Amino acid sequence: MSELSTMIDQAQTLVQQHAPPEVLHQAVPMAILLIVGGIGMSVLGAKLSRVASTLAFAIAGGVGGYYFALQSGFVMPVCIGAGALVSGVIGYQTLRFWVGALTAGVLAAVSLGVFGYQRVTPYWQEFEKSQEITSDSGEFTFTVPSPEQQQAYRDRSPLESAQEFWAFASQRDPSLTQGARSIAIIAILTGLCLGVVAMRWALILSTGMLGTGLVTAGAATMIGHYWPQQGYEAFAARPAVFGALIGGFLVSSLIVQTALTKPARDGKGESSSKS
């Protein structure tokens, strides 16, 4: 847990250093949007998936028809209507594929997250120590980074920091890259198969996990904005409590969506069975 706490500290520092000021000023509205969107997806994501897919494709097709009419000189309402109709039908008919793609992405993200926590985070403190510059003076060893090195350390982008850390961890464990690649491939193939074979359950699982992630991110943003120190101390003291809350929300989402997407029974079959 110490490695996770260190990485959280580093992530907060990177956000404060590299995030645009306007993004930091909009943290609360963004957090509210994440929470509301996450709750909506956790409750109605599976039930409204076909409507959402069809509508999204229709809007995209309408926009494409609009720009096509501008470039070609054809009648704009006809181009917009035709583009929206054709794209909407495509979105309606290809829902199973997009469910598989969504499930594949969610499973890959979760699998790589678990893999990273178990195999990668233990190297974080060692990586942080390797960034220090030590000088010997008599019997003492102390860290003396130069001003240029301090500034270069502060100016690193999050991507550069992640690349440096991954290169360091890969040197310590050469199997990390191959392991991460294998897990990602297996998760993607599993998600695609679930989307094709069991679309309803894949939808419930993927939208529940994605909605839970959005709610968690929004709540963490809100806590970090109003109670940064208190929230961090509470998490460090009782991480299992926060994990149980997140898990409880996910399980509740799965139960609610399973009930809402329950296939309707045939009236004749039900009445005949009763008789």
CA-nearest of 224, 253, 219 to 41 is 253
Query: How is residue 194 annotated by DSSP?
Result: H
Q: Rounded to an integer, what distance in angstroms lies between the CA atom of residue 41 and that of residue 35? A: 10
Give per-residue pLDDT as tens, 228-269: 777 777 777 777 888 899 999 999 999 999 999 887 665 444
**In the chain, what are the domain boundaries?**
9-44+95-130+158-261, 45-93
What pLDDT score does 138 carry? Answer: 45
Cα torsion at 55, 30, 216, 202 (round to 10°)? Answer: 10
Give per-residue pLDDT as tens, 93-150: 999 999 999 999 999 998 988 888 788 877 777 777 765 544 444 444 545 555 665 5
Cβ-contact 122, 4 below 8 angstroms? no
Pairing of strands 134-137, 140-143: antiparallel
Q: Rounded to an integer, what distance in angstroms lies between the CA atom of residue 176 and that of residue 119? A: 8
What pLDDT score does 154 carry? Answer: 56
Q: Rounded to an integer, what distance in angstroms lies between the CA atom of residue 231 and that of residue 268? A: 56
**Out of 9-13, 45-49, 200-204, which region has the weakest mean confidence (pLDDT)?**
9-13
